[in-house]
Amino acid sequence: MTTGIFFVLNFWKGKRKEKDSPTPPASDEQRQYLEEDCIKERITEADLFKLVCLPPSLDYNEWLATHTISFFDHVNLMYGVVSEYCTPETCPAMTAPGNVQYFWHDDKGKKYKYPASQYIDYVMSFIQKTITDETVFPTKFGEVFPSSFETIVKKIHKCLFHVLAHIFHAHYKEAIQLGIHGHINSLFTHFMVFNMNFELLEEKDTDIMQDLVQALIKSLQDHSNKLKQEIKEQNNKNSQDDNTENKENKENRSS
Ligand SMILES: [Zn+2]
């Protein structure tokens, strides 16, 4: 663990927006991502609650590390697709739903308002640097994770949450146009279920997206229940067909 990382980790603190903010109040917010047609869009029907569980033979830190790297790669990829629409002109601040704005804090506690693109660039560079730091994310045999590993992972996930929240808040329309909203929905659901399972994010940080989290999980579960019901009905039908067939065979033999 380098002191540099501790230094940087203190920078990101999500703050409620101040009164003189130029963006509209939450009630005027367009939340297209909550519309039923959008909620239904996803690329996987997997049982994410099972998927995120730590297999008994695996190390907890290894599980956290691989997921953190993977979530980072996917968030990076998705933001990369919409990034051309995220300019200092379109997004002069790092905004999120519920009238939230994230400020950059330096080590002296001074806060800075940066355009979303710059904030995200700083955040993603920090994560990239951290996950490739062998003292934090060891890859070689015999090396161990630092005792602060979970705390660092929590900070990374908080940053990734900010980026996802901004995509939903400011770029969902473009995500639909580009045909990646199903990917973003699935990525966000997977990310949130993982975080809920291991209690990595704090409720006060994620409450702005709770409406979406609940809607996405409900939609996934409804779909899964519907599939189970269809399979059950098909099995019943098959066994009824078998019974009829057996009966007919018996009757043919006896005639
Ligand atoms: Zn933006």
CA of 94 to the centre of ligand 1 (A): 7
Mean pLDDT of the chain: 87
- Percent of all residues in the chain with a pLDDT value above 70, rounded to a whole number: 87
φ, ψ (nearest 5 deg) of residue 179: 75, 25
What pLDDT digit, counting tens, does each position of 89-119 carry? 999 999 999 999 999 887 788 899 999 999 9
> Structural domain boundaries of the chain?
26-242
- For residue 105, the cross-strand partners are 111
Residue 97 to residues 79, 138, 163, 205, 254, Cα–Cα distance (Å): 17, 36, 12, 12, 73
Q: Is 105 annotated as a binding residue?
A: no
According to CATH, the superfamily of the domain at 26-242 is MOB kinase activator (1.20.140.30)
CA of 106 to the centre of ligand 1 (A): 22
Please, are residues 220 and 42 in contact by the beta-carbon 8 Å criterion?
A: yes
Report d(CA 94, CA 109) in Å as an integer: 18
What pLDDT digit, counting tens, does each position of 173-196 carry? 999 999 999 999 999 999 999 999
- For residue 14, the cross-strand partners are 102
Q: Is 91 annotated as a binding residue?
A: yes
Which of 170, 214, 149 has its CA nearest to residue 188?
Answer: 214
pLDDT at 26: 52
